[in-house]
Amino acid sequence: MTEPNTAPSAALAGTLAIGGDLPVHRMGFGAMRLVGEGAWGPPRDRDEALAVLRRAVELGVTFIDTADSYGPQIGEQIIREALYPYPKDLVVATKAGFVRTGPSQWHRLGRPEYLRQQVELSLRNLGLERIDLMQLHRIDPEVPLADQLGALVELREEGKIRHIGLSEVGVDELSAARAITPVASVQNQYAPSFRRSEEVLEQCEKDGIAFLPWAPVDRGALAGPDSPLAAAAREHGVSPVQLSLSWLLHRSPVMVPIPGTSRVAHLEENVAAAAVRLTEEETERISRYLGD
Measured distance CA(174)–CA(171) in Å, rounded: 5
Q: What is the CA radius of gyration of the chain?
A: 18
Q: Is residue 219 scored above 90 in pLDDT? A: no
Residue 77 counted as domain residue = yes
How many domains does one find in the chain? 1
Residue 232 counted as domain residue = yes
**Beta-carbon neighbour count of residue 60 at 10 Å?**
17
What is the predicted pLDDT for the residue at 77?
A: 98
Residue 132 counted as domain residue = yes
Q: Are the C-beta atoms of 249 and 221 separated by less than 8 Å?
A: no
Residue 68 counted as domain residue = yes
Strands 29-30 and 105-108: unpaired
For 91-116, the pLDDT digits (tens) are 999 999 999 999 999 999 999 999 99
Residue 220 counted as domain residue = yes
Least confident of 109-118, 166-175, 213-222: 213-222
Mean of pLDDT values over 154-161: 98
For 50-86, the pLDDT digits (tens) are 999 999 999 999 999 999 999 999 999 999 999 999 9
Domain with residue 156: its CATH number is: 3.20.20.100
Residue 3 counted as domain residue = no
- Grade residue 286 by pLDDT with cuts at 50, 70 and 90: confident
Average pLDDT of the chain to the nearest whole number = 95
The CA–CA distances, whole Å, from 246 to 75, 130, 135, 153, 219 equal: 27, 32, 25, 35, 16
What is the predicted pLDDT for the residue at 110?
A: 98
For 231-283, the pLDDT digits (tens) are 888 887 899 999 999 999 999 999 999 999 999 999 999 999 999 999 998 89
- How many alpha carbons lie under 13 Å from residue 139 in its C-beta half-sphere? 21
Residue 148 counted as domain residue = yes
Query: Does the model's pTM come out above 0.85?
Result: yes
Q: Is residue 3 scored above 70 in pLDDT? A: no
Which residue range is the domain that position 83 belongs to?
A: 10-289
Residue 2 counted as domain residue = no
* Active site residues per annotation: 70
Question: What single string gives the DSSP state of each residue in 196-221?
Answer: TTHHHHHHHHHHT-EE--BSTTTTTT
